[in-house]
Amino acid sequence: MNKDVVIEVRNLSVSRSGSLVIKDANFDVMKGDYFGIVGPNGGGKTTLLLSILGQIPRMSGSIRLFSKDIEDFDEWEKVAFVPQDAINFDANFPLSVRELVSLGRLGRNPIGRRLKKRDWEEVDAALEFMGLSEVADKRIGELSGGQKQRMFVAMALVRDPEVIILDEPVAGIDAITQEKFYQKMSDLNQRRGITIMMVSHDLSAVFCRMSKVICVNKEVNVAEIRPDVDIEGVLRKAYGEHFHFVFHRHECKGEFKA
């Protein structure tokens, strides 16, 4: 296996509640990829992610993470996951932003040990990178939706992961805040080389900022995002022939906007 392949999926089929949700998926995620995962509601995007994370069983096929079969994989600190409902927590929970982000370091310390100076330096660096230094001492319930999402990415970052997987991280957030969030994720990918997989319904952001796309509607189709790729054809495989897509140039990459 190529050492630059961080996730390898072969002939993966997954069933939930007696229905086939993912059918015979095959793709590789390479080190440094920035994948957008798109498709209609109920098409299997979250199921695909949860399978990769080993959180739901598969009917058939194989998943390998960092050259290990998922059953044998024991380096989960390399993989960070931000689920759909991450920001749905008790607003009165008595933790500051800095304290919550620090919980991401616990996996690197034996149970019962206090965080060291180096741990807190990593926490503060993650908060600064995600633009949260000014709200570090606020209660987590005081943050806006966009700040909460960035807080959970900061919490993932302090684990020093090689892969970050996000499931619809900007759902319900205004367009301007979404754009800032996508910019931060692009920075993580381009400046730090972190591999990112993100479920998104924002096709503009996917084709503007990301390097590859996975279209999911039971069947899984993968394509690089390049000017010479038939993006509309790729999308029709997931959304159906009756959908009409209009593409515009986008200032951030100069390619597509849907």
Would 37 be classed as within a structural domain? no
Q: What is the mean pLDDT of residues 109-138?
A: 86
CB–CB of 160/106 below 8 Å?
no
Would 256 be classed as within a structural domain? no
Q: Which domain holds residue 112?
A: 5-31+49-196
Torsion, Cα 155 159 164 166, to 10 degrees, reads -30
Tokens 């979250």 label which residue? 46
CB–CB of 109/62 below 8 Å?
no
Question: Which amino acid belongs to residue 63?
Answer: I
Q: In this structure, what token pair is assigned to residue 16?
A: 């939930």
Report the number of distinct structural domains present in the chain. 1
Q: What is the mean pLDDT of residues 134-162?
A: 90
pLDDT for res 91:
67
Would 44 be classed as within a structural domain? no
Query: How far are the Cα atoms of 135, 223, 256 from residue 50, in angstroms, in the given order?
Result: 32, 21, 29
Q: What is the mean pLDDT of residues 232-258?
A: 59
Query: How far are the Cα atoms of 9, 54, 55, 75 from residue 64, in angstroms, in the given order?
Result: 7, 10, 14, 12
User: With 80 as the cut, is the pLDDT of residue 107 above it?
Assistant: no
Closest CA relative to residue 105, chosen from 82, 81, 121, 89:
121
Which neighbouring-strand residues pair with 166? Answer: 82, 198
Tell me the C-alpha distance between 63 and 51, whole Å: 8
pLDDT digits (tens, 9 = 90+) for 8-22: 999 999 999 889 999
pLDDT for res 60:
96
Would 38 be classed as within a structural domain? no
User: With 90 as the cut, is the pLDDT of residue 69 above it?
Assistant: yes
Would 142 be classed as within a structural domain? yes
User: With 80 as the cut, is the pLDDT of residue 132 above it?
Assistant: yes
CB–CB of 186/178 below 8 Å?
no
pLDDT digits (tens, 9 = 90+) for 180-218: 888 889 999 998 899 999 998 888 888 888 999 999 999
Would you call 98 exposed, middle or buried from its count of C-beta atoms within 10 A (0-12, 13-18, 19+)?
A: buried
Q: In this structure, what token pair is assigned to residue 23?
A: 């059918």
Average pLDDT, the chain: 86
Q: What is the mean pLDDT of residues 168-186?
A: 84
CATH value at residue 115: 3.40.50.300
Tell me the C-alpha distance between 134 and 127, whole Å: 9
Q: In this structure, what token pair is assigned to residue 163?
A: 């892969």
pLDDT for res 86:
64
Would 147 be classed as within a structural domain? yes
Q: What percent of the chain has pLDDT over 90?
A: 52
Pairing of strands 195-199, 68-69: unpaired
Tell me the C-alpha distance between 125 and 104, whole Å: 13
Would 103 be classed as within a structural domain? yes
